[in-house]
């Protein structure tokens, strides 16, 4: 019996959706609205470098980025196939979308190491 890859891709999609829905609005509110308006102070560079100095924080950062990238890849794949009517090119589109997500994950890992 041959196993399919599709359930694992849907798992990454749903995990990325949860992460994106819970974390990204908070980050946009903090770094995109409250800090530029002066409601909150910008964190000191020493504080941020100290925070990113911990391996667990870097690993969590990579997980968030990778899950968000796979969520976006899955959404782009199926949306482009449905809206543009190019479902016959499913395999190249899947390779392009998920390949870009894997490449982005590799970049995230190399930046955090």
- Rounded CA-CA distance 30/36 in Å is 9
Does 27 reside within a domain?
Answer: no
For every residue of the chain, which 3-state class applies, written as one string?
CCCCCHHHHHHHHHHHHHHHHHHHHHHHHHHHHHHHHCCCCCCCHHHHHHHHCCHHHHHHHHHHHHHHHHHHHHHHHHHHHHHHCCHHHHHHHHHHHHHHHHHHHHHHHHHHC
At residue 3, the pLDDT reads 77
Does 48 reside within a domain?
Answer: yes
Does 38 reside within a domain?
Answer: no
Does 74 reside within a domain?
Answer: yes
Calculate mean pLDDT across residues 8-34.
Answer: 91
Percent of the chain past pLDDT 90, that is, above it, reads 60
Does 31 reside within a domain?
Answer: no
Calculate mean pLDDT across residues 49-65.
Answer: 91
Contact predicate 102/74, CB 8 Å:
no
Q: How many domains does the chain have?
A: 1
At residue 56, the pLDDT reads 94
Residue range(s) defining the domain that contains residue 83: 7-16+44-112
Residue in the structure block whose two tokens are 């970049």: 107
Instruction: Give 5's pLDDT tier (boundaries 50, 70, 90).
Output: confident
Calculate mean pLDDT across residues 102-110.
Answer: 96
Does 36 reside within a domain?
Answer: no
- Tell if the pTM clears 0.75, that is, is over it: yes
Does 22 reside within a domain?
Answer: no
Angle at 91 between CA 85 and CA 96, to 5 degrees: 95
Does 28 reside within a domain?
Answer: no
Tokens of 57: 């924080």
């Amino acid at each position: 019996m041959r196993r399919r890859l599709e359930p694992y891709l849907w798992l990454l999609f749903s995990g990325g959706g949860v992460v994106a829905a819970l974390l990204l609005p908070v980050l946009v509110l903090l770094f995109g609205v409250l800090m530029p308006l002066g409601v909150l102070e910008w964190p000191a560079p020493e504080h941020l470098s100290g925070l990113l100095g911990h391996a667990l924080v870097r690993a969590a950062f990579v997980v968030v980025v990778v899950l968000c990238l796979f969520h976006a890849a899955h959404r782009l794949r199926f949306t482009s196939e449905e809206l543009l009517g190019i479902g016959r090119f499913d395999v190249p589109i899947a390779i392009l979308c998920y390949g870009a997500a894997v490449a982005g994950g590799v970049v995230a890992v190399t930046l955090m190491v």
